Structure 1
Amino acid sequence: MTHSYRPFQHAWLDKKTSAKEQPLPEALRSTSLLMRVLCFLALGRPNLDDHWKSLQSEQAFETVRTRLCDILGSTITAASILAISSVFVSTASPVSYFGYTSSIPYYPIFISLMFAIFAMLTSGSSMIRWLHTDRHWTQEQLKQGGYFVWSYLLSMVTPMFFVVWSLNCFVFAMLIAGFSSQSVICRALTALGLVTYIVNVGKILIEAMRKYAT
């Protein structure tokens, strides 16, 4: 009979804890520049204030967990596409004027494939970690600061880091192949693609800097 009351006791304790919001621990207040950048890349904010608030209730924590799992799932999809593309372009080129299998662009393609595989592995492990993590346990571990905070943030950032590098290596290889082409049209299209890529990356960086400043 006593077991039937345990869910009600846990629910009552959770409501009582949520009603009294815990302040941000001292270990999470003073952060270095590297930690602030890592927080921004992982959580979209240069500090842990908002994330700590999300740990105060189950509903907010589930929202954060769902969002991060969606991001990690998208990262796995992007890494899979990059890996397939890298394997595909490692075969012989169907046209003579776009030689992406020559020795110079082949190395960035191979590096892109490695980064894509690393991204899939780290995304999968991070997703498993988030699916099985517990709010109260996470809260207690974050209070201590130190190694767990770094590991906690890196588990979110590392997959995206690998995907970005994989994409850049793949683009770099295609640019080398395009500008090395004997076809004027191919070189012109490559130049147009490079300009488009730079503009989009610049817009992303400017938006990120504005968000970091606010």
Structure 2
Amino acid sequence: MVPSYSAKLYVTTDKTALAEEQPLPEALRRTSLSTRVLCFLALGRPDFDDHWKSLQSDQAFETIRSRSCSILASTITTATVLLATSVVFVSTASPVSYFDYTSPAPYCLLFISLMLAMMAILTSGSSMIRWLHTDRQWTQEQLKLGGYFVFSYLLSIVTPIFFVAWSLHCFIFAMLIAGFCSHSTIYLIVTALWLVMYVVNIGTILMQSMWKYTAL
């Protein structure tokens, strides 16, 4: 009786493993350009092959969930800092006359940065709640449907990062405009150096991203 029970247990376990190793759904094989770009931004690859394989086991799914929640937590922290900084700049006058960030253009950008930071916090929080309360089977079933559900899945990862990135850019642009409008030579030089470093860093990031996208 013991060998028979062991054989049945082995067969059952083997069938379960085979059932879990599902092939990539048709809805995830043929994707549009926009979906591939979103997939690259959210998952680091322009396709779902590796991500779908990681959904075949509970341990791999827990790794994905932990990494996503960690990214969202970092996004919330960054957005909170940007929100607090923007609130200070929007609600207070410039302490020096040669760095006036209360002029219309910088003030508008600071206000936009504030709003984007708030949206980043809200979207990050809602996405984190979604990740904490989802499971592997439900995620698989949603991705199999394709279309809107795939976009929703990818946007839950990309949108918070998008908002916090543009909040940071708006804050930087506001400081650059205020610096270039300054009557102080030192502020003009510092602002010019800041602009050069900003352009170099953004250009490097974009070139690396494009190279990685074309290499995959």
> Same fold by TM (over 0.5)?
yes
Amino acid in structure 2 at the alignment position of 1:56: Q
For structure 1, which segment, 106-115 or 88-97, has the greater mean C-alpha deviation from structure 2 after superposition? 88-97
Distance 1:43 1:108 in 2: 30
* Gapped regions of structure 1 (runs ≥ 5): 1-8
Helix, strand or coil for the counterpart of 1:101?
A: coil
- Whole-Å Cα distance in 1 between the matches of residues 54 and 192 of structure 2? 45
TM-score normalized by structure 1? 0.91
Residue 6 of structure 1: aligned partner: none
CA contact (8 A) 2:176 2:191 kept: yes
Whichever residue aligns with residue 101 of structure 2, its letter is Y
Counterpart Cα distance in 1 of 2:142 and 2:117: 31
Count how many residue pairs are aligned between Structure 1 and Structure 2: 204
The sequence identity of aligned pairs, in percent, is 69
Contact 1:18–1:56 (Cα < 8 Å) also in 2 = no
Query: Rg: which structure is higher?
Result: 2
The alignment partner of 1:149 has SS state of helix
CA distance in structure 2 between the aligned counterparts of 1:105 and 1:72, rounded to whole angstroms: 28
SS in 1 for 2:94: coil
Mark the CA change 1:14 to 1:54 in structure 2 (over 3 Å): closer, same or farther: farther
Q: Corresponding residue for 2:177?
A: 176
Evaluate the alpha carbon distance shift between residue 165 and residue 48 of structure 1 in structure 2; reply closer, same or farther with a 3 A threshold: same
2:20–2:57 Cα contact (<8 Å) kept: no
Structure 1, residues 53-108: CA drift from partner, whole Å, max 9, x if none?
11000111011111111110111011111111101112111111111112221000
Aligned residue for 1:71?
71
Letter in 1 for 2:100: G
Unaligned residue ranges in structure 2 (runs of 5+): 1-8
CA apart distance, 1:19? 7.5
Relative to structure 2, which stretch is displaced further, 98-107 or 19-28? 19-28
Q: CA deviation at 1:16?
A: 2.4
2:167 alignment partner in structure 1: 166
Q: How far apart, CA to CA, are the structure 1 residues paired with 2:77 and 2:14?
A: 36
TM-score by length of 2: 0.90
CA distance in structure 2 between the aligned counterparts of 1:179 and 1:18, rounded to whole angstroms: 64
CA distance in 2: counterparts of 1:81 and 1:152, whole angstroms: 27
The one-letter amino acid of 1:144's match is: L
Indicate how the Cα distance of structure 1 residues 196 and 20 shifts in structure 2: closer, same or farther if over 3 A, else same.
same
